[in-house]
Structure 1
Amino acid sequence: MGPRKHASRGSPDQAVERAAEALDDLSLEASGVPSRATSTTHSGDHDDRTLDDADDRSVVKAAEPTPAHACAYCGIHAPASVVKCMGCNKWFCNSRGSGSGSHIVTHLVTARHKEVMLHPESPLGESVLECYNCGCRNVFLLGFIPAKSDTVVVLLCRLPCASASANKDTAWDVTQWQALIGDRCFLPWLVNVPGDAEQARARPITAQQIQRLEEVWKERPEAALGDVTAPAEGDEPERIKLRYENGYQYLEIFAPLVRMEAEYDKKMKEAQTQDDITVRWDMGLNHQRIAWFVFPKLELGEVRLAVGDELRLRYRGELQAPWEGTGHVIKIPNNTSDEVGLELRRSEGAPTDCTHHFAVDFMWNSTSFDRMQAALKKFATDELAVSGYLYHRLLGHEVGPQPLKVTAPGRISAPNLPELNPSQAAAVRSVLTQPLSLIQGPPGTGKTVTSATVVYHLSRLSEGGRVLVCAPSNVAVDHLAEKIDLTGLRVVRVMAKSREDLDSSVRHLALHEQLRNMDTYPELQKLLRLRTSVGELSRKDEQRFKKLRRACEREILESADVILTTCAAAGDPRFTGLKFRAVLVDESTQASEPELLIPLVHGIRQVILVGDHQQLGPVIMNKRAANAGLNFTLFERLIHLNIRPHRLQVQYRMHPCLSEFPSNMFYEGSLQNGVTAPQRLRPDVKFPWPTPATPMMFHISLGQEEIATSGTSYLNRTEATNCEKVVTAFLRAGVRPQDIGVITPYEGQRSYVVNYMQFSGSLRKELYKDVEVASVDAFQGREKDYIILSCVRSNEHQGIGFLNDPRRLNVALTRAKYGLVILGNPKVLSRHVLWHDLLTHFKDHGCLVDGPLANLKPSLIQFSRPRRRQNARRARTALDWLLPPGAAKLQAPGATGTGSSFATGLGPPAPVTDPNVTGMVPPSCDPHALWQDSIGAIPSGVNSVLTHLDPSSTATAPIASSAPGFGFSSHYTPASGPNGIASAGSPFTAPNGPHGGSISAQFSASILMSQADRLRMNEWFDQPPKVAAAAPSSSAGPSNGHYHGSGGSIPPGYSAAGGATAGAFSDANLDSYLDYLDDIYKTQPVQVGGPGAPFFTGTERAAGNRTAVQKPAGAVPVPVGRTT
């Protein structure tokens, strides 16, 4: 191969040679990188000594002033270990420190910088890393490959230069391309990883300090770590509560969180300017100018864009005078086009003859946040905003039942809608008579039909009162509007002004379309036609037009039976003065509580919330606001306030084998199948399922993840390749492209898969264009015949990110009707409990396979041992929420150890009086319990009974029973022997049935929780304990008390006073952990020490006695809230 010179980029041959030398010196065979056949300059021994000497010198001179090239985080400054960021001219090292990624990669990702340069004294010299072929400097795109004939390596970007299709005839072996960054560190042959001695002498820095330092650098680039101070405790927003004293406290807590989210959203939007845009001009059917352009930041995943968003287009070229105009997005990129369509509001003076030198700015719109604040204020101050009952119930106050005086109809199903199944009919009958109701709709259970039926009957029973129907998204509102319209009700769909010109399936129901067809306003129709043809009206005509339009809109709205709009649009001024008898909010678990409040403050007397808290929740961008609870929905809070949701229990979407795991993991095994296996098998589709009768498989893919182009996302090329093969197999088998969906949690993978199928697919490009590749969020509420899930994550140190969210996994697993293929690395995924259970499920069904599609074989891979999160503080707080004061707790005082039935001591079951529920329940338990096959019960208001107490529990379902009212669900792990487990620490098992009847000897009276619920606890639950230990065990005098597990010392700020009874409290300790538990559980005994040690009970506390009370030996461990 001849010499390669690129004078414009400083002749890269020297850098190539130095890279080859460094590769030799670091034993590349062990790293899977081909070494050179011969050395051309320095010997490996010489270079190794030089590198080691540099390390030693930096350690010896650590006390000296750090040089300019020292890591801006930790101070490490060995030339071979540091890299210069070209975006800010700061230096960073390749050490991980206390984090999961190296300091240089952490900085690049956080600051959104992408170009770097090596140190002049590094083995590779002063080199700016760039693609040898095209000069691209984005390090997240760069990788290296060996030349086929030469003993050198070259740097090439992933796309397009390293694409096999782009380099079929070159001398570069593109199949061996490897990213320069692996596991969030630069490869060690490129940037050395500092040795242990140097890292030990480095300046310590935490992830929180790094985050704060990066924030400070945005305002003061010269700031150092010493300039960063920890935020004061008062700077953190107050967390949301389960109960609020009054509306003012509610306002005072939520208003700052909404403001924080608004400020963050504004900051993010206004920072997304894109320069050097090329525009293509067009004219829309409505005679409005449309600008078409490619938005690179959107392709890189750096920004989010939705139809209806406002953008500003600016021209700063030389051919015409400067110009700018605003408009709204009418199209976003998809598989068929990368262009964004922007419809301009006014096109006067637009430089339509120019195509270059444009820039795009995001226009931040505060409307939705302003409406949230207005709703919060109205709820707090306006007595007519909601009924008195709803006001107190929403605040969490205890209010007696107040059923509505309505007579449920004899026929529940609505006209032109499908007949309801028993669980749907029971939900509809119940919510019609209750002022506040929840309907939980698991995937495929007919939630929309049920909601439409509820709305139909609400309208018929309201005697002229309007019904307001909302959802967080326009898609959900349109879908519901279609169903409700079928019932014959007068339906009006109110859209935001920015969406009025967009195409919609319910356009004929839209307010602005009905306004155009109002024959009773001829003058308005005349002005509308004039406005459309001319583009604008005179000031006088415009004023007259607006007046007539308001009157006409009011007439249409007042004559409607049902008005539908988004939650945010429910605060539109057009709704001012309109009163609604009832409101139904669909997808309510995808809206934050302040957003959900907007439609509730229109004089509402009846509220029905429909959703599924086991699927995706609201998207909160500000982490501080999310951690304070803004991502915790009203639907969930009401469940914790003991309002039982009506769960729809028959799913009509999935093949029964596909619904089995989600049902057991997320819905306590309660989902029944409304479709049979033969109805969800397609014999005409010849796909190599491992088990033909079970159309699912986990196809093992061990390729490593890579950081995507944006630096903030991930991709996995091996999975993308396998994904294309699976898609091609489905297409060859006769499946239509539009019936195939590819789900991936990462934008980087989505973009890569789309491009890979287009350029490397073995079939026609047009076929792959109709295969939808999208995120989990984009697929919520939708379905496809066949789904391929690409997991992406495959690493040693980074974890699995989004995949660890049970709700996200639930959505991904429940989109397919006929078949599901999962691509992933089980070695990495099985470290996490939820995925370990899923992989075990696939393995048990013979569906865990590897090898090519034409020769799939059952895998013998050994799973990693799952890491169980031992976070007692989080579990304690979750207990506080999910078992509110007064809630029934199912305990078994007679279950004294191994082999003993948990149900012992409950007493005889009581008959159920609810006509909609059959079976019997234990004493003190809610007769309206959630049931499995109509038997068994769980405590009132709890979706799945709780446990963090037995870390070995693999239970995936709440308490149900093999006899009415008793015991555990059959979904608990079976154990050997007729009486269950034989040793402490084993999983809980079921009583009196096929799975034995015992609990762990460690706990003879406890509470159980499903794994799914334990894993999905929000981060904001992680509250610090008031006392650092489980409970005080004794006190011999002031400041001389002992705390269990703390070696006899008192936690800072706490003391225990002397007294006749061991374990006494001082008055200064009234806010202690035990008092806290007492306030929650009232008479719940809390153990002070080990077996036989004193207890502190609510009985004594209520009587004013703060001392502990002696209990008999053999007492159980603390049943709740032990801290570690």
Structure 2
Amino acid sequence: MQSQPMHSQQDNDPDAFSYAFVEQDEEDDYLKGGDGNVDMDHIHMQQMQLQMDQLSSTLMGNLDLEDDFEGGHGMDNIPVQLPSHACAYCGLHDPASVVKCVSTDKWFCNSRGNTSGSHIVQHLVRSKNKEVSLHPDSPLGETILECYNCGCRNAFLLGFIPAKQDSVVVLLCRDPCLQMNALKDMSWDMTQWLPLIDDRSFLPWLVKVPTEHEQLRTRQITSSQIAKLEEDHPQATLEDLDRPGVDDEPNSVQEHYDDGYQYQNIFGPLVKMESDHDKKMKESQTQDNVFVRWDIGLNKKKNAIFTSNRPDADFRLVPGDEIRLRLGGGSAMVYGKDWEGTGHVLRLDESEVTLEMRNSHVPVEITDGYCVDFVWKATSFDRMQSAMKTFAVDDTSLTGYLYHKLLGHEVEMQTFRTKGHAATGLSVPGLPELNPSQLLAVKGVLQQPLSLIQGPPGTGKTVTSASIVYHLVKQNNGQVLVTAPSNIAVDHLTEKIASTGLKVVRLAAKSREAVTSIVEHLTLHTMIKSLVSPDKADLRKLMQLKEDQGELSSQDEKRFKSLKRNAEREILQAADVICTTCVGAGDPRLSNFRFRQVLIDEATQATEPECLIPIVQGAKHVVMVGDHMQLGPVVMNKKAAKAGLNQSLFDRLIRLQHRPFRLRVQYRMHPCLSEFPSNMFYEGTTRPTCVWANYYCSVT
């Protein structure tokens, strides 16, 4: 909603002037701590007018900067029922000292209290909001701070400048308006631009800073209490934090569990906490006033290219992510109506993002004024929750032996008899000969229902994993499901396994089908397009028709989906190995498949519920490859991480005295570099390959 220009009480004076504010980049020590990074997006602002010659006297008089408590703005005189505009932190409710966060509809004051920044700035930083409004009874009236030129409302980008000739102050955003040559030609002295937020608080002539006496009489709040309100209980009040049960810590993960229900009851809330945190972070990743360049891809689809200027650490964009473009403001008026469209990230080139749009009807004639929203999806977390439920209630989801081993129960050791090629030799076509530690690992995991392989950096984990998969296939115990937490790890392992001559299919998420891969020819969606058998003629025709027209009739679309689903099932059933991410193992296209043999690569980088997704697809034989001495799973929610969600299943099994096979020959690093990590983390058991050893001897 566009606010009215902000005026002083001298609005009818012919010498009245307008001013504007610019937001400041608050990435100092205070803002860099924890989740304190602020979203630096553009938001819409407005022109405001004041009388310059009476700015100091009129505003200072109205702001009542003296220690006047006759009106009762301190906590001692605050009524039991605080007014709705009272600061959500300290309760101060002087209209001249409070500012409303437009996004949360909460009021905060310009006081620091016992913290390093004003309460309003702390709230904006921690909640990742940017739009603010002044109180109707403040000296400047009810006003949403906006840029005079572009309407940006990002308070951290706003600043003000006085005009060169007229008694005018103009609110302008730092980027891009302050740098525009067209504005420099106007009667404004751009060199005098100053930010509205300085030293972590709003300028006092805009929002009154309460006196020390006033601050002492308000409710005292600490930085830790503010963090709890903003990060853990955003809907709570300070009084709520003192109530029993409000700030209860979640149950921590254990090494042993009684049954699958206890496992689910502990991990379920942690996954929910991480899901809520991820949703909050993703939905706050909005950019406004974005310039978009339009292009047409080789597949004739429209591509939107824009620059992402998100500096905060929480912003993580990867190919395949879904993005929504919205057109609003003046540009929408040019287009004639509001417009929005969705697409997925096709490429990331430094800060430049290429978005492939789903709809071909896009306003290519308009290049500015776009809003970019991150579309959050709960797919990953829903599949984790579903896997934990399956683990608890479905006896056929995995063998009883694996069930009890994963719960940490003491069970009698089981072994498998190797057969086929593995019974006589372990060499694999297309792969280099294995070293002794790799041979021991391959032979050992083929005989055990649950195995761990620890591979320090550069010790040939991928070759070892590919060798294991090859021999698992030759055991004739069914298809092998190969997973990893990241798409890059899956692609590299897929490539290595395919070099052995096995029939491999790489199953990618539908949102990533347009993303180029090093194993593109092995992906399911590419194989579908390459079908040439006569019985697939109808499918090929419909695919071509959809590519040419962009869409199909409802009847053709229904038939196309049916034919495509059948073709996908045929390709998957014919494969020896299916490779996908851990979350991808829960893809509906695999719902009717049962995988008795599962290998999880980079298992130490996945959370336990994530690893559980491929395991509960009918596993009888599970191999996990990783290194618990390297980085573990990334968990963004601090409480969930503290409770143990950032501990991998691999790591817990190590704690349960499940001994891993360790790869010991290091191929990647010079001996001088590998000696320290070997002694520090691996008891000196890793050694350089003979090539490095000979080189080392020759130069010494």
**Given the two structures, how large is their TM-score scaled by the length of structure 2?**
0.72
Q: Distance in 2 between matches of 1:384 and 1:486?
A: 33
Residue 618 (structure 1) shift: 2.8
Label 1:612 to 1:173 Cα distance change in 2 as closer, same or farther (>3 A). Answer: farther
- Which of the residues 543, 550, 557 maps onto 1:531? 543
CA contact (8 A) 2:21 2:146 kept: no
Q: Which moved more, 1:410-419 or 1:631-640?
A: 410-419
Deviation per CA, 1:135-172: give whole Å up to 9, x if none. Answer: 98856568999xxxxxxxx9998878999xxxxxx999
Label 1:55 to 1:338 Cα distance change in 2 as closer, same or farther (>3 A). Answer: farther
- Which of the residues 419, 435, 441 maps onto 2:449? 435
- Which of the residues 517, 526, 534 maps onto 1:522? 534
Q: Distance in 2 between matches of 1:325 and 1:70?
A: 37
Deviation per CA, 1:313-334: give whole Å up to 9, x if none. Answer: 4556345665767544133543
The aligned counterpart of 1:245 is 258
- Which of the residues 581, 605, 608 maps onto 1:566? 581
Counterparts of residues 416-435 of structure 1 (less than 5 Å): 416-435=430-449
Look up the SS of the partner of 2:625 in the other structure.
strand
The aligned counterpart of 1:74 is 90
Counterparts of residues 667-1066 of structure 1 (less than 5 Å): 667-674=682-689, 676=692
Deviation per CA, 1:325-383: give whole Å up to 9, x if none. Answer: 75441335433x62441331x43x54455555655544443333332233222222222
* Residue identity opposite 2:443 in structure 1: R
Q: Distance in 2 between matches of 1:134 and 1:326?
A: 22
Larger radius of gyration: 1
Label 1:286 to 1:594 Cα distance change in 2 as closer, same or farther (>3 A). Answer: same
* Residue identity opposite 1:386 in structure 2: L
Deviation per CA, 1:711-754: give whole Å up to 9, x if none. Answer: xxxxxxxxxxxxxxxxxxxxxxxxxxxxxxxxxxxxxxxxxxxx
CA contact (8 A) 2:327 2:340 kept: no
Residue 435 (structure 1) shift: 1.2
Q: Distance in 1 between matches of 2:158 and 2:198?
A: 8
Label 1:393 to 1:360 Cα distance change in 2 as closer, same or farther (>3 A). Answer: same
Q: Distance in 1 between matches of 2:666 and 2:64?
A: 64
- Which of the residues 452, 469, 472 maps onto 2:466? 452
The aligned counterpart of 1:582 is 597
Q: Distance in 1 between matches of 2:531 and 2:20?
A: 75
Q: Distance in 1 between matches of 2:676 and 2:335?
A: 63
CA contact (8 A) 2:101 2:124 kept: no
The aligned counterpart of 1:403 is 415
The aligned counterpart of 1:784 is none
* Residue identity opposite 1:580 in structure 2: F
Q: Distance in 1 between matches of 2:202 and 2:538?
A: 68
Counterparts of residues 155-234 of structure 1 (less than 5 Å): 202-207=218-223, 209-211=225-227, 213-214=229-230, 225-226=238-239, 230=243, 232=245
* Residue identity opposite 2:630 in structure 1: Q
- Which of the residues 406, 430, 443 maps onto 1:394? 406
Deviation per CA, 1:556-602: give whole Å up to 9, x if none. Answer: 22332211011111112322332323111112222222221111122
* Residue identity opposite 2:606 in structure 1: A
- Which of the residues 470, 481, 486 maps onto 2:483? 470
Q: Distance in 2 between matches of 1:351 and 1:310?
A: 19
The aligned counterpart of 2:127 is 111
Structure 2: 5+ residue stretches without partners: 1-13, 23-59, 162-169, 180-187
Q: Distance in 1 between matches of 2:158 and 2:131?
A: 10
Residue 393 (structure 1) shift: 0.4
Counterparts of residues 39-54 of structure 1 (less than 5 Å): 54=67
Deviation per CA, 1:956-982: give whole Å up to 9, x if none. Answer: xxxxxxxxxxxxxxxxxxxxxxxxxxx
Residue 468 (structure 1) shift: 0.9
* Residue identity opposite 1:111 in structure 2: S
Structure 1 vs Structure 2 CA RMSD: 5.4
Structure 1: 5+ residue stretches without partners: 1-6, 16-46, 146-153, 164-169, 684-692, 694-1124
> Which one scores higher on RCO, CA 8 angstroms, separation ≥ 6?
2
Residue 481 (structure 1) shift: 0.7
Q: Distance in 2 between matches of 1:293 and 1:278?
A: 9
The aligned counterpart of 1:962 is none
Q: Distance in 1 between matches of 2:592 and 2:228?
A: 46
Look up the SS of the partner of 2:323 in the other structure.
strand
The aligned counterpart of 1:596 is 611
Label 1:202 to 1:443 Cα distance change in 2 as closer, same or farther (>3 A). Answer: farther
Deviation per CA, 1:621-661: give whole Å up to 9, x if none. Answer: 44444444333221121112111223334443345555455
Residue 106 (structure 1) shift: 2.0
Q: Distance in 1 between matches of 2:631 and 2:254?
A: 21
The aligned counterpart of 1:494 is 507
**Does structure 1 residue 513 correspond to structure 2 residue 530?**
no
**Does structure 1 residue 552 correspond to structure 2 residue 564?**
no
CA contact (8 A) 2:21 2:155 kept: no
Counterparts of residues 246-325 of structure 1 (less than 5 Å): 246-266=259-279, 268-270=281-283, 276=289, 278-287=291-300, 289-294=301-306, 298=310, 303-314=315-326, 317-318=332-333, 322=337
CA contact (8 A) 2:480 2:576 kept: yes
CA contact (8 A) 2:486 2:581 kept: yes
Deviation per CA, 1:540-560: give whole Å up to 9, x if none. Answer: 554444444334333322332
CA contact (8 A) 2:481 2:579 kept: yes
Deviation per CA, 1:753-811: give whole Å up to 9, x if none. Answer: xxxxxxxxxxxxxxxxxxxxxxxxxxxxxxxxxxxxxxxxxxxxxxxxxxxxxxxxxxx
The aligned counterpart of 1:643 is 658
Residue 397 (structure 1) shift: 0.6
Q: Distance in 1 between matches of 2:232 and 2:304?
A: 37
Q: Distance in 1 between matches of 2:327 and 2:615?
A: 44
Q: Distance in 2 between matches of 1:575 and 1:201?
A: 63
CA contact (8 A) 2:65 2:211 kept: no
Label 1:601 to 1:186 Cα distance change in 2 as closer, same or farther (>3 A). Answer: same
Identity among equivalent positions (%) equals: 52
Label 1:590 to 1:206 Cα distance change in 2 as closer, same or farther (>3 A). Answer: same
The aligned counterpart of 1:989 is none
CA contact (8 A) 1:83 1:117 kept: no
State how many pairs are aligned: 624
Look up the SS of the partner of 1:331 in the other structure.
strand
